[in-house]
């Protein structure tokens, strides 16, 4: 395991990355999220959206804004699948070599995918990677103090940068399922999200991904 605070390296082998985005009843936030995914400096991405919304607002916005954008792959679930099954369906639909999961109220910095992919060039046997996070309000203003506290709490700091010696600790204490992680697609599909665990499905996923 590694975090992603290092600078991007030269792209020796360009992986295809599937950015998976589950959404439910937050159309305006979803558009901001997708725009941040499309703004990536890394060229080989697709955005896979699973929509559990109870109305058609998200669908209408996606069709209006991204009708001619081949990188955006959208699916409306009727009836809604629920959190675990929605995420599982995104994993199944992902075509990339790597999977990155974020939610509809999250944004990616423009170099996020580039930085994460570069870690596989540095550590070819890497299974999964993650980086520091920022806390921001709905206007996009970043709370630097809150962000520093968040990253310190989950041990996502420069002092702890590099390969993580204890994978189990990464899953349990560093809360691997927290947003912004990237992992090998075959591993993600094998572990999956299990609906039996309800709202804890992401936590179980993280512990099973990092045994």
Question: Which two tokens mark 130?
Answer: 């993650």
Pairing of strands 128-130, 181-184: antiparallel
CB atoms within 10 A of CB 92: 11
- For residue 23, the enclosing domain spans 2-8+15-209
How many domains does one find in the chain?
A: 1
* Secondary structure class of 180 (helix, strand, coil): coil
178 pLDDT exceeds 70?
no
Domain holding 39: CATH number? 3.90.550.10
Binned at pLDDT 50, 70 and 90, residue 158 comes out as confident
Q: What is the pLDDT of residue 8?
A: 44
69 pLDDT exceeds 90?
yes
The winner for highest mean pLDDT among 92-96, 120-124, 171-175, 201-205 is 92-96
Give the model confidence (pLDDT) of 96-154 as tens digits: 999 999 999 999 999 999 999 999 999 988 898 888 888 888 777 888 898 888 878 77
| Closest to 188 measured CA to CA, from 122, 107, 101, 113 | 101
As a whole-number percent, the residues of the chain with pLDDT over 90 amount to: 55
Give the CA angle between residues 136, 142, 143 to the nearest 5°: 90
Compare 192 and 170 and report the one with higher pLDDT.
192
Give the model confidence (pLDDT) of 6-18 as tens digits: 344 444 468 999 9
pTM, two decimals, is: 0.87
Question: Which two tokens mark 3?
Answer: 């975090």
């Amino acid at each position: 395991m590694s975090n992603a605070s290092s600078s991007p390296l030269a792209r020796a082998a360009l992986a295809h990355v599937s950015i998976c985005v589950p959404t439910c009843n937050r159309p305006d936030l979803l558009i901001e999220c997708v725009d941040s995914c499309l703004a990536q400096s890394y060229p080989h991405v697709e955005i896979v959206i699973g929509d559990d919304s109870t109305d058609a607002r998200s669908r209408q916005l996606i069709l209006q804004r991204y009708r001619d954008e081949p990188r955006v792959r959208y699916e409306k679930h009727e009836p809604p699948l629920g959190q675990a099954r929605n995420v599982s369906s995104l994993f199944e639909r992902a075509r990339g070599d790597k999977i990155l999961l974020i939610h509809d109220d999250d944004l990616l910095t423009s170099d996020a995918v580039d930085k994460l992919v570069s870690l596989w060039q540095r550590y070819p046997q890497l299974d999964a990677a993650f980086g520091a996070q920022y806390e921001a309000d709905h206007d996009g203003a970043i709370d630097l103090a809150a962000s520093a506290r968040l990253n310190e709490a989950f041990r996502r700091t420069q002092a702890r940068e590099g390969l993580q010696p204890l994978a189990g600790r990464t899953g349990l204490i560093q809360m691997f399922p927290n947003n912004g992680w990237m992992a090998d697609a075959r591993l993600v599909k094998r572990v999956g999200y299990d609906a039996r665990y309800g709202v804890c499905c992401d936590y179980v996923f993280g512990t099973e991904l990092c045994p």
